[in-house]
Amino acid sequence: MSLRNHLIVLLALSGCTAPPPAPEGLDASATYLLREFYADDATFAAGVQGFMNWYHDEGVAMMGTDVNAETVGAFALADLSEADVAFLQLPTELDVDGETIPRDLARAKGVVSMAELDCDWKLTEDFLVRGDQHVVFPSDWEDYERTYVTPRDVFQAATEAGDIPAVRERIDPFAADFDPTRWQETFLFTENRPDPKPFLLIDVGAYDLHFDVRHGTYTIDGEELGVFSVITYMPQPALNPGGGMGILQSYTMEINVQRPQGRTLRLMAAWAEPLGGGIEPDSALALSTSVSKSRAASQRLSDVCAGRATLEP
């Protein structure tokens, strides 16, 4: 009997199931992580490993690549499918300036970005779960309101103690009978209303944003590493109060992986559909600006951690 088959037998006898194989390639890994954000640890960790495999094979070489019209194709992601976002229970139609239009996932174009931060993963998590994101990222937000559905202090106490309960089953935070407090040490559930600064020449008002965080210690690249991940999406479009422009769809999946010497690898996949300004979602301008914006936010975080920048209220 092969070692793999022997392991499968042992797992079956112990009542466990073998972890799924890691997805292969950037597109498969990014969409897998989005779909499996609320899955059990073994399933979710397989997606992190798939993303890391792609990073080692291709992503490292892209870290220092300038993003422009000629190079942005290397950062582009495949379109999302309905299966990728079905669990989010999104409306099939969008209300845009008084008109109802179908939600078209093919119009939400995606990119990947990556950065290595001068922050350990726990401090990176601390900055990203703060409520005053307009202070952490002043170039991105005019203002930011965050309500914690589950307590931030309980979630971060688990981080500091290194005692994060394992997730052994898929959870469904959208179920009517879901109790978020059962998972409050492993997931942080929040409600958000950010007011962004103009992006891609598009100026919108404050909008609702779904933002959840999960963390844990997973075996990645043969090591036990701390990982925290973030999923965000807009239930409805973010529109300019005067009409005619906005962001119709936005979905992001972010992972932050512990690295040697107190650093953190930040990988983000983001899909968005802008409206107005003569900007098409798949244009080089839209895609390259999205990558550059993500890189700038990571650089800001790294600079604050290293003392090269400060937080000012």
Query: Is 155 inside any structural domain?
Result: yes
Q: Judge whether 219 lies within some domain.
A: yes
Q: Evaluate whether 150 touches 189 at the Cβ level (below 8 Å).
A: yes
Task: Give the total number of structural domains in the chain.
Answer: 1
Question: What is the model's pLDDT at position 19?
Answer: 76
What pLDDT is recorded for position 17?
58
DSSP code per residue over 137-169: -TTTEEEEEEEESS-HHHHHHHHHHT-PPP--S
Give the CATH number, domain containing residue 73: 3.30.530.20
Residue 103 counted as domain residue: yes
Phi, psi of 229 (to 5 degrees): -135, 155
Q: 10 lies in a domain?
A: no
Instruction: Return the pLDDT at 277.
Output: 81
pLDDT at 15: 41
What are 39-70's pLDDT values in tens digits? 999 999 999 999 999 999 999 999 989 999 99
Task: Please give the single-letter amino acid code of residue 102.
Answer: P
Whole-prediction pTM: 0.92
Within-domain flag for 119: yes
Domain membership of residue 178 as a residue range: 28-305
The alpha carbon of 129 is separated from its chain's Cα centroid by a whole number of angstroms, namely 13
**14 in a domain, yes or no?**
no
Is the Cα torsion angle 145, 151, 155, 157 positive or negative in sign?
positive
6, part of any domain: no
What whole-number distance in Å separates Cα of residue 186 and Cα of residue 28?
25
Please indicate, yes or no, if residue 85 is contained in any of the structural domains. Answer: yes
Which residues in the chain come in under a pLDDT of 50? Answer: 1-15
